[in-house]
Chains A and B, each alone.
Chain A
Amino acid sequence: MIRSNAPVLLEVRGLVAKIEERTILKGIDLTVRAGEVHAIMGPNGSGKSTFAKVLSGHPSYQVTSGEVLFQGENLLDLAPEERARAGVFLGFQYPIEVPGVTNSSFLRLAYNTVQGARGAEELDPLEFDDFVREKMKLLEMNPAFLDRSVNAGFSGGEKKRNEILQMALLAPKLAILDETDSGLDIDALRVVAGGVNKLHTQDIGLVLVTHYQRLLDYIEPDYVHVMDGGRIIKTGDKSLALELEKRGYDWVAAEFKGRAAA
Chain B
Amino acid sequence: MRVETRNSYLDSLLQSRDAVAEAGSDWLRALRMRAVERSNELSVPTTRDEDWRFTDLSALYKASFRLVAEPRALETAQIGTFAVPEAEIRLVFVDGHYSTEHSQLPRSGGVTIGNLADLPDALEALAKKHLASLATIDHDAFAAVNTAFLRDGAVIHVESGHDMKSPIHLLFVATSRDSVAYPRVLVVVDAGAQCTVVEDFIGEGEGGYLTDAVSEIFVAENARMSHVRLQRESSGAFHIGNTSVQVARGGSYSAWTVALGARISRHDLALVQAGEGTEFSVDGLALIGGRQLADTHSSIDHAHAHGRSRQLHKTVVAGGAHAVFNGKILVRKGAQQTDSGQQSRNLLLSDKARVDTKPQLEIFADDVKCAHGAAVGQIDANELFYLKSRGLSDRVARNLLTYAFAAEVVERIPVKSLAGRLEQAILEQTQTKEDA
Contacts and interface: CB of A to CB of B under 8 A. Distances in A.
Interface in A152-193: 166, 170
B37 interface: no
A203 interface: no
A100 B403 contact: yes
B277 to A, nearest CB: 28
> Which applies to chain B's interface (DSSP): helix, strand, loop or mixed?
helix
B313 to A, nearest CB: 16
Contact of B401 (A85, A90, A98): A98
B386 A114 contact: no
Interface stretch (B177-185, B245-253, B346-354, B388-396): B388-396
Contacts of A57: 385, 388-389
Contact of A80 (B383, B385, B405, B408): B385
A110 B408 CA distance: 21
B391 A85 contact: yes
Interface centre among A81, A83, A101, A110 (most CB of B within 10 A): A81
Interface string A47-82: 000000000111110000000000000000001110
A85 B388 CA distance: 10
A113 B396 contact: yes
Interface residues of A, number: 29
A173 to B, nearest CB: 14
Contacts of A170: 390-391
A110 B391 contact: yes
A81 B386 contact: no
A30 interface: no
A81 B403 contact: no
Contacts, number: 76
B389 A56 contact: yes
A96 interface: yes
A232 interface: no
Interface string A89-117: 11010011011110000100110011001
A81 B394 contact: yes
Interface in B106-149: none
B400 interface: yes
Interface in A7-62: 56-60
B59 interface: no
Contact of B391 (A58, A81, A92, A98): A81
17 contacts: A58-B385, A60-B381, A81-B388, A84-B390, A92-B386, A92-B389, A96-B383, A98-B401, A99-B404, A100-B404, A100-B406, A110-B392, A113-B390, A113-B393, A113-B396, A114-B391, A170-B390
Of all A-B residue pairs in the complex, the 9 with the closest CB atoms, nearest first, are: A100-B404, A100-B407, A96-B386, A110-B390, A84-B391, A80-B388, A114-B391, A100-B408, A113-B391
